[in-house]
Amino acid sequence: MIINENLGIVYIGLPKTGSTAVHRWLMDMPGSVYANPNEQHDFRVPEKHRALEVIATVRHPYSRAISLWRHAHADKLTHKRGAPRLGLSEFVKWMFERSGESGQGMFFGWSLSRRIPQHATIVKLESIDDFRKLQRLSQVHTSPIPVANRNNHGPMATSMTAIAARMIREAWREDFLRFDYDMAY
């Protein structure tokens, strides 16, 4: 989470929503500070900053799941937790099975709906044009758009399966509904 009192905003950047690029962009602006320097993906807005405009980025659940899967294949997640290299369906199943009924496990725990306050301004960050919407919201139009974790792996449909899509819809149903994403793949 980044707070910029000069701009009057609190940015909640949750994992796999373009948050790395947004963090780089905001941290280049005077007055930007991490609410908690040890946790850039924190979502709990400090009491003293609740009057500021809260902005959060979201991403289509299918795209987020594929991004998480590709992130895991870069040895950043699954291999640390003992999973072999898996196809997308197997990865989603692996994550899903570790979620438990409480909804607090790995896969359910990545739900955006449960972490973004209801009053937050939501920016769907699916493309560079969407980043320009974020620039308009923050009233900073001249700062260059950062590039981080460039996606050069083609359309999501090449990896998505019916089994993976069903599990993603079940786990992140709230995200599909709250952020008005199409459940078809």
* pLDDT for the residue 25: 87
* pLDDT for the residue 85: 72
**Sequence-distant (≥ 6) Cβ neighbours of residue 78 within 8 angstroms:** 72, 84, 85, 86, 91, 94
* pLDDT for the residue 79: 57
Domain boundary assignment for the chain = 2-178
Helix (H, G, I), strand (E, B) or coil at 11: strand
* pLDDT for the residue 161: 86
Looking at this protein, which amino acid is placed at residue 18? G
- Report the C-alpha gap between 86 and 107 in whole angstroms: 15
| pTM over cut 0.85 | no
Assign residue 68 a region: left if phi > 0, alpha if psi is -120 to 50, beta otherwise? alpha
- Report the C-alpha gap between 76 and 79 in whole angstroms: 7
* pLDDT for the residue 48: 95
**Sequence-distant (≥ 6) Cβ neighbours of residue 73 within 8 angstroms:** 85
> Mean pLDDT for each consecutive 10-residue tract of the chain (185 residues)?
93 88 88 88 90 93 86 62 72 72 52 88 83 72 53 55 89 92 88
